[in-house]
Amino acid sequence: MTAAESSRLETTLALVLAGEIDSYTAPDLADLLAKYPDVDVVDLRDVSFIDSSGLRVLVEVHQQRNDADRTLTLRSPSPAVQRLLEISGVAKHLTVDS
């Protein structure tokens, strides 16, 4: 790596989630993502449960980031997240980094 290349430092802000995302906790997730608009990555490896209420928040934030010419990456989806992404048919529309 040359000095010229390394002088440009890029940072990625990741939000690491753990636990259950449902209609009770999804509003908290929406608040968190609104509070930290620079989050580019949501790490989902420790999400033990998610339903459509949680998926709805992720889709909405994905669309907001898209509108701002940015990308929200869903990183390391847990089996529960993977299952919902598959059956809901939205996986192909989102940016998922397994």
Partner 1 sequence: MTPHGASRSRAASVPDGDRLELRLPARPDVVGSARRAVHDYLTARGVPSAVVDDLQLVTSELVTNGILHGSPGAIGVVVGIDDRDAIELRVSNDGPGVLPPVSTWQAPEDLVVSGRGLGIVRQLVDDAEVVEADEATTVVCRRAWRRGAAA
| Smallest distance from partner 1 to CB 18, Å | 15
What does the DSSP 8-state code read for residue 23?
A: T
Separation between Cα atoms, residue 66 and residue 37, nearest integer Å: 13
Least spacing, CB of residue 74 vs partner 1, in Å: 14
Cα 54 from Cα 81, distance rounded (Å): 10
Listed as own residue / partner, the contacts of 92-96 with beta carbons closer than 8 Å and 24 or more positions apart are 93/59, 93/62, 94/58, 94/59, 94/62, 95/62, 95/71
CA dist., res. 31 & res. 46, Å (int):
19
> 2 or 96: whose CB is closer to partner 1?
96
Q: Nearer to partner 1 by C-beta: 12 or 63?
A: 63
Binding residues for partner 1 (CB under 8 A):
20, 22-24, 49, 51-53, 55-56, 59-60, 62-63, 79-80, 83-84, 87-90, 93
> Nearer to partner 1 by C-beta: 39 or 81?
81
Least separation in angstroms between residue 76's CB and partner 1 is 18
Nearer to partner 1, 12 or 48 (CB): 48
